[in-house]
Amino acid sequence: MNCAEFEACLLELVAEESHAGLIHTEARSHASSCSRCAARLAEERVLVAGLRAWANTAQHETASAHVEAALLTRFRALERTKAAVPDIQSPNRALWKAPRYVGLAASILLLFGWALIQFTRKTDVEQAQRQPAPKLSASSEQTAAAPGKIPSLGRVAAGVDGAGPQSGPTQPDGLVALPPPERGIRSETPRDPGRKPARPVKPRPPQVSTPVTEGRLQYAARSTGRTERRPVEAERTANDHIETEFIPFMAAGPRFSSEQRQFVRVKLPRSALQVFGLPMNMERAREPVQADVMLGEDGRALAVRFVRE
Amino acid sequence: MIDPQTLSDEELLRLTRAGDEHAFTVLYRRHQGPVYRFALQMSGSQSVADDITQEVFLALMREFSRFDSSRGSLAPYLYGVARNQVRRHMERGKFQVPIHDDGGASLEPITAPGDPLGDLTLREGLSALRQAILTLPLHYREVVALCDLEEMSYEEAARSIGCAVGTIRSRLHRAHALLIQKLRDAKETPSGVSRNSMRCFK
């Protein structure tokens, strides 16, 4: 053992706590041969003896009696405070502390909500099946403007191939400037007689929102009623047909409700959503968005709605 | 009827939390001595030690939930709180506290063979030792107070201070070396230590 090793085990050596007998013996033999380490050992012994002496004299020292008295006074005050404050919410808290109650209540609510959704969808399908299919003819290209008799253009146009643009709407002064359509303006055209008849769709009046300036635009996401298909949930979500309400252009004015209308399916840059104050997904900024433009008799654009199929 | 004296700290805490004043008294009397002595050895002042003891048990009374019995017994927890209180007192910047000159008034001499530092177990020797401890840096002083004076094991001291056992060991070793050096210096200038009855602890 050298001096450094001796120094390392000095505390244990003096405290006589070391159970490693070999080290103990080696340290003692080193101290007997090294005068410096022997002196260090002696000093350490004196120090430890002094510390123990002090510890013995101090072991009966305690805090003053007034500390205990002050603490007990404080303890009683705290207990009085606890008793004075009524625990109003304790019954509810006790109830809701039990996680099983919370879990049970949540399960019941989820089950009830799911059953309600299923029942509502089933009812819609049954009602749609009872109604006759709408007659789509060439004359339906220009549809009467009577509310309640205009079929949902989102659905009608969705099944029609793009037949080329109709007479392009010339936008008069004062209209909201829409970005130009990118490609394939789709308009309502009669179905090919050779094709399968269209699925019965519940007729729906065009829903017109208040002008943009009133700041009351809302997204109206509606289910398309494709309940005969029962795809998996993710697929169904992806296929959901979402369309906004018709957003009138400012210049449409009072003629909006009395004119005959045409509807043109166009694709617009996604930034058009922002023009109408609608939220835009920046991650899909490069993808176009579909829109139905409502045209008046003179070809003026009256309103627009955005469609996601 | 169960005697509260026989109950464990955890049971006494549970009773105290439920408002049992007697349980709190038993708990206080069981632990106040070590806490007070630690505070006294750290601060050198009885009034500061009283204040710190009171603060420690007030903290326990206010926040019983902070003590987690799964992490250790109550004593190291109380030492930890006391240590924080001592540091807080020091940070307030006072610490010009009187050192007790009557610390070894009733001491009986203990023989120390081959004594190179003088007889530390005599009255004057103990007084010098006490003053030398109070001049140690805080992190050395606390390990001396815990391990040497309260005879705590290294593991318990490490839990109280919140460091590794090896750190306790090395600090204690260094603290002893410093103490020996200070006592040797004090012996060379006999009136050097006791001349200053006021000492900065920081």
Three-state DSSP state, B28: helix
Interface of A with B (CB under 8 A): 7, 10-11, 39, 42-55, 57-64, 66-68, 70-72, 74-76, 78-79, 82
Residue B109 lies in a domain: no
Q: Are residues B128 and B177 in the same domain?
A: yes
Q: Are residues B80 and B124 in the same domain?
A: no
Half-sphere exposure of A258 (CA within 13 A, CB side): 3
Establish, for the pair of chains A and B, how many residue pairs have beta carbons separated by less than 8 Å.
Answer: 120
Interface-testing mutation among A14, A19, A57, with chain B (most B C-beta atoms within 10 A): A57
What is the average pLDDT across B175-201? 65
Q: How far is the alpha carbon of B58 from chain A, nearest alpha carbon, in Å?
A: 7
Q: What's the CA gap between A22 and B174, in Å, rounded?
A: 25
Residue B104 lies in a domain: no
Residue B47 lies in a domain: yes
On the question of pLDDT at A20 being above 60, the answer is no
CB contact under 8 A, B24 and A75: yes
Full-model pTM: 0.49
CB contact under 8 A, B151 and A55: yes
On the question of pLDDT at A167 being above 70, the answer is no
pLDDT tens digits for range B30-67: 999 999 999 988 888 888 899 999 999 998 888 777 77
- Residue B14 tokens read as 């549970």
Q: How far is the alpha carbon of B201 from chain A, nearest alpha carbon, in Å?
A: 20
ipTM over 0.90: no
Residue B24 lies in a domain: yes
Q: Are residues B192 and B124 in the same domain?
A: yes
Q: How far is the alpha carbon of B202 from chain A, nearest alpha carbon, in Å?
A: 22
Please classify residue B142 by burial: count the beta carbons closer than 10 Å to its beta carbon, then call 0-12 exposed, 13-18 middle and 19+ buried: buried
- Closest chain A residue to the Cα of B106, Cα to Cα: A57
Q: Are residues B79 and B29 in the same domain?
A: yes
Residue B107 lies in a domain: no
Q: What's the CA gap between A226 and A236, in Å, rounded?
A: 9
- Candidate from B28, B103, B116 with C-beta closest to A39: B116
Interface-testing mutation among A6, A36, A43, A60, with chain B (most B C-beta atoms within 10 A): A43
Three-state DSSP state, B200: strand
Q: State the pLDDT at residue A157.
A: 38
Q: Which of B75, B91, B107 is the last residue of a domain?
A: B91
Q: What's the CA gap between A138 and A159, in Å, rounded?
A: 15
On the question of pLDDT at A140 being above 50, the answer is no
Check which CATH number belongs to the domain holding B64 and give it. 1.10.1740.10
Question: Measured between beta carbons, which residues in chain A are less than 8 angstroms from residue B21?
Answer: 72, 75-76, 79
On the question of pLDDT at A105 being above 70, the answer is yes
Q: pLDDT band at B77, cuts 50/70/90?
A: confident
Q: Are residues B123 and B63 in the same domain?
A: no
CB contact under 8 A, A75 and B21: yes
Q: Which of B23, B57, B91 is the last residue of a domain?
A: B91
Q: What's the CA gap between A3 and A30, in Å, rounded?
A: 8
Please classify residue B106 by burial: count the beta carbons closer than 10 Å to its beta carbon, then call 0-12 exposed, 13-18 middle and 19+ buried: exposed
Give chain B's domain count: 2
What is the average pLDDT across A79-105? 66
Q: Are residues B177 and B127 in the same domain?
A: yes
Residue B185 lies in a domain: yes
Q: Are residues B70 and B136 in the same domain?
A: no
**Contact criterion met (CB below 8 Å) for A145 and A259:** yes
Q: Which residue has the tokens 């009623």?
A: A225
Check which CATH number belongs to the domain holding B151 and give it. 1.10.10.10
Q: Are residues B125 and B192 in the same domain?
A: yes
B53-58 contact pairs (CB < 8 A, 24+)? B53/A63, B53/A67, B53/B82, B54/A63, B54/A67, B54/A70, B54/A71, B55/B81, B55/B85, B56/B81, B56/B82, B56/B85, B57/A71, B57/B28, B57/B32, B58/A71, B58/A74
On the question of pLDDT at B18 being above 80, the answer is yes
Most confident of A154-163, A174-183, A243-252, B73-82: B73-82
CB contact under 8 A, B180 and A78: no
CB contact under 8 A, A68 and B130: no
CB contact under 8 A, A42 and B148: no
Q: Are residues B122 and B171 in the same domain?
A: yes
On the question of pLDDT at A21 being above 70, the answer is no
Residue B150 lies in a domain: yes
Residue numbers of the domain that contains B170: 116-197
**Contact criterion met (CB below 8 Å) for A240 and A223:** yes
Residue B77 lies in a domain: yes
Please classify residue B183 by burial: count the beta carbons closer than 10 Å to its beta carbon, then call 0-12 exposed, 13-18 middle and 19+ buried: buried
Q: Which of B56, B91, B126 is the last residue of a domain?
A: B91
Q: Are residues B26 and B82 in the same domain?
A: yes
Q: State the pLDDT at residue A100.
A: 75
Chain-centre distance for alpha carbon B90? 15
